[in-house]
Amino acid sequence: MVLKQDGRPTRRQFLRQAVLGGALLCTWDLAAAARLRAVRVGTYHRGVRLVFDLDQRLAAVPRIRSSGDVLHVELPKVQHWVSRPQVPALGPLRGGSRMTLGSDGLIFTLPLREAVRWRSFSLGPGNGASQRVVLDLMPMAESPRVHPLDHTGRPIMVCLDPGHGGHDPGAIGIRGTREKDVVLDVGLSLAQLIRQTPGMRLLMTRASDRYVPLMDRMHLGLRQRADLFVSIHADAFPERSVRGSTVWALSERGASNAAARWLAKTQNAADPFLGHVQAGVHDPILNEVLINMTQTAAMNSAAAAAEVMIRGLAGVEDLHNAAVQHANFVVLRAPDVPSMLVETAFISNPEEEQRLRDPDFRQLLARTMHDAVVAHFVKAPPADSAWSVTQHVLRKEENLADVARRYGLSVEALRLANNLPREGGQPGGLLRVPVMGA
């Protein structure tokens, strides 16, 4: 890149190098081609807000990308419009726009005055309004470490659930190691890391050796509207040679296999008030929840978070299952709360029991789980939270450690958020990075 004499890039050169943005997206229904009714533009904090009025919901997620000093917004399956919008010179917008039909939908090209970060979300009809797609564009400020551009967002809420406790020891290893003690220690270490993460807030179902009923654990995350619920356990199986980590999520289709049904039965049996769960009795409340759209969205989000978690654990521990598993765990049933259950290792395996007894290994598990939680929210931060996402162009003189340090996360979290191999990214590549709230 050609630089000015003082060594700094010109504004146009900076714009051509910066490909910055993110998408905070809601659930999108499949639908036929939509008609664009109008485009409205107005100020929003330090940036601008564009509202696309449609006659029905989009058929798919809008695709947004920047190229040099223009922004491209593609609305899939939108094939009709009433009139070409008038886009004024406002905030980072240079003014004017171009609208064309692409192979998969309507494409808006918006000239920019400066590099921007963005977020988009959908709003349903109400008070006479139509279906809407909202696009917020905010200027990107350069700094040694990126700071939030909008302090109004709420903190991301993470609920940790160390399993068992009190009179319920959980599984017990051959050397007498109790699951409840191991997972509480991992949970407390993970809690400390989450408290130190800007823009995150912590909930814990238990922070001491006490028993909490399974339904109470689930309802805590539900009442506090947690963005992610992580239940921490140590696995067990009658065959002592079985080993490795597993990550579980709830599925409306039930258990993945016979082992999943067995594990759900043993975990749910810890609560004496839930005997009907493992007995296979029809549960009309659960069935109603599972067909609810919000539950489906939560399960999809949980599955995505669990995929990141299992990739992280693969770097520090053998995997018992390389794919996310599904079972009917009571603690994962909360509607609107993406929930996963992490089996860190098999305490019934003598070798893995010894590892779980090691404080350094438990600390490693906590750091790995924290990296995965951060990476998940880099990939998909809640729309109303203090976090947002932008993109960083990896320069030749940079490595992942440089980028991670600038944006306040670990190299492993950066790698997980961008699906990178262990050897890292290539110069010129784009990296998703967080803008964390305070």
Q: What is the pLDDT of residues 362-381, one digit of tens each?
A: 999 999 999 999 999 999 99
Taking alpha carbons only, the member of 134, 149, 38 closest to residue 83 is 38
How much is the pLDDT for 212?
93
Q: Bridge-partner residues for 81, per DSSP?
A: 36
pLDDT digits (tens, 9 = 90+) for 408-428: 899 999 999 999 987 666 777
Backbone angles phi, psi at 206, to 5 degrees: -155, 140
Q: Whose structure tokens read 């109303």?
A: 384
Report the range of poorest mean pLDDT among 133-137, 262-266, 316-320, 399-403: 262-266
How much is the pLDDT for 234?
94
**Higher model confidence: residue 438 or residue 330?**
330
Query: Quick one: what percent of the chain has pLDDT higher than 70?
Result: 74
Q: What are the boundaries of each domain within the chain?
A: 18-151+387-435, 156-378
How much is the pLDDT for 73?
87
pLDDT digits (tens, 9 = 90+) for 222-241: 888 899 999 999 988 889 99
pLDDT above 60 (res 2): no
Query: Which CATH number fits the domain 18-151+387-435, given the four candidates 3.20.20.70, 2.60.40.3500, 3.90.120.10, 3.40.50.1460?
Result: 2.60.40.3500
How much is the pLDDT for 352?
96
Sheet holding 63-67, edge to edge: 63-67, 70-76, 105-111, 98-101
Tell me which DSSP letter residue 327 carries. Answer: -
pTM over 0.85: no
Beta carbons within 8 Å of 2's beta carbon, 6+ residues apart: 13
**Higher model confidence: residue 208 or residue 141?**
208
Alpha helices in 322-358 (DSSP H): 350-356
Taking alpha carbons only, the member of 411, 386, 417, 405 closest to residue 198 is 386
Q: Bridge-partner residues for 121, per DSSP?
A: 134
pLDDT digits (tens, 9 = 90+) for 157-179: 999 999 999 999 999 999 999 99
| Average pLDDT rounded to a whole number, residues 209-229 | 90
- pLDDT band at residue 331 using 50, 70 and 90 as cut-offs: low
pLDDT above 60 (res 19): no
The C-alpha angle with vertex 369 and arms to 363 and 373, in degrees rounded to 5, equals 145
**Higher model confidence: residue 261 or residue 163?**
163
| Average pLDDT rounded to a whole number, residues 136-140 | 77
Beta carbons within 8 Å of 8's beta carbon, 6+ residues apart: none
pLDDT above 70 (res 268): no
CA distances, 229 to each of 183, 204, 335, 341 (Å): 15, 10, 11, 8
Class of the CATH-defined domain 156-378: alpha beta
Q: What is the distance between the alpha carbons of residues 202 and 190, in angstroms, rounded to a whole number? A: 10
Q: What is the H or E stretch that residue 390 is in?
A: strand 388-393
